[in-house]
Amino acid sequence: MERSAEKTVKALRQLERYNPDLVEIRFDGMKSSSSISKIRSATNCALIATNRSKKHGGGFVGPENRRIGTLMQAARAAFDYVDLELETKDVGSNIRGLKRSGTRVIVSYHNATATPSAVKLGIILSREKRAGADICKIVTTANSYADNLRCLTFLNQHAGATRLVCFCMGKLGVASRVLSPLFGGHFTFASSGVGSETAAGQIPITIMRAIHKELGAT
């Protein structure tokens, strides 16, 4: 989540030594998104373009057509994935437009205060699938360690039929971030290093990999 394309390119080149499977580029942290193609050409890593609005917990403030326009630019610049919030206006038509531009779409839901019931998680997943998601993403907030279990159980039940990312944010949600791939999660998120977190509860990629190695998951 760098402030410019130049800083993003520098960060990408430093990150490549860790051989990440995916790198999320947070355009809502940038002052300008005019150099999207430079970011894409700076690495062979698979890239996710995200431009999260303020109301969805991100940093973008401005017209919705400009927010979506940046994501369309990223799709045309050969970003591998675009993350689009489930609550985006005209989400279905925007997803179809992004796919026509050659990208795959992660439809995401974020809850910054709690973890809904399993029934509500199921409703959210169904909505994401109906919208046309290539990958469904459901991220909640853990207010207890039991919330991790709810997300992991839900993930284990549905990951066989759906490319699903599901875990909890927050200090109490670290366990689900780490364990979600073991329960069928399509991927999980880690920070590039200490101090580079883009969401509460992220741990560095080096620590995530070390834990997975200890668990025999690599």
pLDDT tens digits along 176-195: 999 999 999 999 999 998 98
Residues 78-129: tens digit of each pLDDT:
999 999 999 999 999 999 999 999 999 999 999 999 999 999 999 999 999 9
- Can you tell me the distance from the alpha carbon of 19 to that of 140, in angstroms, rounded to the nearest whole number? 27
DSSP for 90-126 reads THHHHHHHHHHTT-EEEEEEE-SS----HHHHHHHHH
pLDDT above 90 (res 196): no
pLDDT (mean) for 209-217: 93
- Catalytic positions, written as ranges: 110, 137
Q: Do domains 1-106 and 111-218 have the same CATH topology?
A: yes
Residues 8-66: tens digit of each pLDDT:
999 999 999 999 999 999 999 898 777 899 999 999 999 999 999 998 889 999 999 99
Residue type at 218?
T
> Domain extents for the chain?
1-106, 111-218
Rg of the chain over all Cα atoms, to the nearest angstrom: 16
Fold of the domain built from segment(s) 1-106 = TIM Barrel (3.20.20)
Residues 130-184: tens digit of each pLDDT:
999 999 999 999 999 999 999 999 999 999 999 999 999 999 999 999 999 999 9
Closest CA to 24 of 139, 129, 119, 125: 139
- Sign for the CA dihedral angle at 123, 108, 157, 103 comes to positive
- Find all residues with CB under 8 Å of 188, minimum gap 6, and list them: 165, 167, 177, 178, 180, 181, 208
CATH number of 111-218: 3.20.20.70
Predicted local confidence at residue 217, as pLDDT = 83
